A = this chain, B = another copy of it.
Amino acid sequence: MIVTLRKEATEEEVEKLFAFIRDAGYEPRLVKGESKSIVELIGSGDLTPDDLLKFACTEKVHQIQKPYKRISLEGDRKPITINVKGRIIGGEKLIVFIGPCAVESYEQTDGIAKLISEYPVNDQIGGYILRGGAFKPRTSPYAFEGLGEEGLKILREVGDKYGFPIVTEVMSANDVPLVEKYTDIHQVGTRNFQNFKLLDALGEVKKPVLLKRGMSGTIQEFLLAAERIVARGNPNVILCLRGIRTFNDAYRNDVDVADVVRLKQLTTLPVVFDPSHSTGNRDAVIPVSMGAVAMGIDGLLVDLHTNPEEALVDGPQALWPTQGKAFIESINIIKKAQLEAKKYYITAEEARQQS
């Protein structure tokens, strides 16, 4: 980190800062400028900008290194893959997380899983993971909130019947052991992305975590939330883009799908995308997903329903069965093209060296 000092800073104030920096295990180095001086912190430790901002002589703090150490691509780290019963998330192939938004009944879930069981597995699509919520966070206190453990049982049973791993949302630290009993992947919803008690609890389980970006989460906050789970002991975190909250009213959320490109520049973790919640509009799901695949997404989270008009939750965004098939065809074609196009990719650094 670099600290810009206030012009009026006294020597005594700066000494106080230096002592603090040394106590924290760094070596401070003063660089005098014409109008302002700066202090560089040499070494590494756990200081955050706030620790330095509180000193009277500090004007501003500039961060030089990424604060998410374990999941940063800095240094020699390589992207990781996560293997969920044979589905490799973060590899060459797409993984599709698909199912109803909420588990409503055995029949509903079974009907949807049956549709999925007919979808292809090939060189582009590596497999399917059945999704469905048993605990549903709802903004209105008067809306349907899921079947609870009954829903978990249904999802597990249907997943096993068709051979699909399952993913479902866990809403509090308290529920982690219960959900761990049934699920293959824990999903953390957008409203809980900084529920630190929940993240800490998930740092101690064995199963991977699919972490949705908070509606107002910056890229750094998103990565720090993932870092927390990893730092607590669980290395298998999947990042999920799902739209953010801004003034942009094109869709229900501002669609942040292009951020997959940025995340891939920064982190070792796989990145997936949820076109259904991002847009809230089933007619947008197919083209927006095609875009996500072309940009290099590792997987897609999609709502599918045998009859969206009867869905208890988020009906306007669920795909109809024939749309589901068109969705699979479309992403398959684009994934093939993306793998081919990828070979031509060249970074600015490589381009400069060739010029």
Contact = CB atoms under 8 A, between A and B. Distances in A.
Interface of A: 2, 4, 6-8, 16, 29, 31, 33-36, 38, 40, 42-44, 46, 48, 50-51, 53-56, 60, 62, 64-65, 67, 74, 137-143, 145, 171-175, 191-192, 194-198, 214-216, 218-221, 224-225, 227-228, 231-232, 244-251, 254-259, 261-263, 265, 278-279, 282-284, 286-288, 290-296, 307-309, 311, 313-316, 318-323, 325-326, 329-330, 333-334, 336-338, 340-341, 344-352, 354-355
6 contacts: A35-B64, A48-B143, A137-B194, A140-B224, A248-B256, A258-B258
A183 to B, nearest CB: 17
Given A36-B64, A139-B221, A322-B354, 10 more contacts: A31-B40, A34-B44, A54-B316, A139-B224, A142-B231, A192-B195, A215-B216, A250-B262, A290-B295, A323-B348
Contacts of A283: 265, 347-348
A140 B258 CA distance: 25
Given A34-B42, A262-B284, A326-B345, A216 B232 contact: no
Contact of A50 (B54, B314, B355): B314
A67 B221 CA distance: 28
A56 B349 CA distance: 7
B258 A257 contact: yes
A64 B38 contact: yes
A54 to B, nearest CB: 3
Contacts of A320: 348, 351-352, 355
Contacts of A221: 139
Nearest to A10: B353
A129 B174 CA distance: 31
A308 B351 CA distance: 11
A344 to B, nearest CB: 4
A241 to B, nearest CB: 10
Contacts of A250: 219, 256, 258-259, 262-263
Contacts of A2: 2, 38, 62
Contact of A138 (B196, B216, B329, B352): B196
Contacts of A44: 34-35
A46 to B, nearest CB: 5
Contacts of A74: 7, 35
